[in-house]
Structure 1
Amino acid sequence: MGFFFDPTYVLVIAGMLISMAASAYVNTTFRRYDQVPSERRLTGTEAAAYILQQSGITDVRITSIPGELTDNYNGSDKTLNLSQSTANSTSVAAIGVAAHECGHAVQDAKGYWPMRLRTALVPAANIGSTLSFPIIIAGVLMSWNQTLIHIGILLFSLALLFQLVTLPVEFNASHRALSILSSGGLLTPEEVPMVRHVLTAAALTYVAAALATFLQLLRLILLFGNNRDDN
Structure 2
Amino acid sequence: MEFLGPYTPLILLILIASFVIQGSLTRTYRRWSGVRNPRNLTGEQVARMMLDANGLNHIPVNAVPGSLSDHYDPMRKTVNLSEGVYGVPSVAAMAVAAHEVGHAIQDRVRMPALVARGRLAVPLSLGMNLAPLLVMAGIFLQLTGLLWLGVVLFGAALLFHLITLPVEFDASRRALAYLNQTGLSGSPEAKGGARSVLTAAALTYVAGFAMALAQFLNIFSIARNSD
TM-score of the superposed pair, with normalisation by structure 2:
0.92
Alignment of 1:47-58 (within 5 A): 47-58=46-57
1:109 aligned partner? 108
One-letter code aligned to 2:72: Y
2:227 equivalent to 1:220? no
Q: How far 1:104 moved relative to its partner?
A: 0.3
CA distance in 2, matches of 1:139, 1:212: 21
One-letter code aligned to 1:162: F
CA distance in 2, matches of 1:115, 1:6: 33
2:138 equivalent to 1:136? no
One-letter code aligned to 2:13: A
2:171 equivalent to 1:170? no
Alignment check: 8 A CA contact 1:72 1:81 kept: yes
SS in 1 for 2:226: coil
Cα deviation, 1:137-182, whole Å, max 9, x if unaligned, reads 443355442x332221011111111011000000000000011111
Q: How far 1:56 moved relative to its partner?
A: 0.7
Based on CA coordinates, which of the two structures has the bigger radius of gyration? 1
Alignment check: 8 A CA contact 2:6 2:221 kept: no
Q: How far 1:7 moved relative to its partner?
A: 6.5
SS in 2 for 1:186: coil
User: Could you tell me which of 183, 186, 195 is aligned with 1:185?
Assistant: 183
Q: How far 1:15 moved relative to its partner?
A: 2.7
Number of aligned positions between the proteins: 226
CA distance in 2, matches of 1:130, 1:51: 36
CA distance in 2, matches of 1:137, 1:27: 33
One-letter code aligned to 1:30: Y
Identity %: 37
1:154 aligned partner? 152
One-letter code aligned to 1:27: T
Q: How far 1:223 moved relative to its partner?
A: 2.5
Cα deviation, 1:13-63, whole Å, max 9, x if unaligned, reads 223212111111111111111121112111010111111011110221111
1:194 aligned partner? 193
Alignment check: 8 A CA contact 1:37 1:90 kept: yes
Alignment check: 8 A CA contact 2:43 2:97 kept: yes
TM-score of the superposed pair, with normalisation by structure 1:
0.91
Q: Which runs of 5+ in 2 are unaligned?
A: none
Q: Root-mean-square deviation (CA), in Å?
A: 1.8
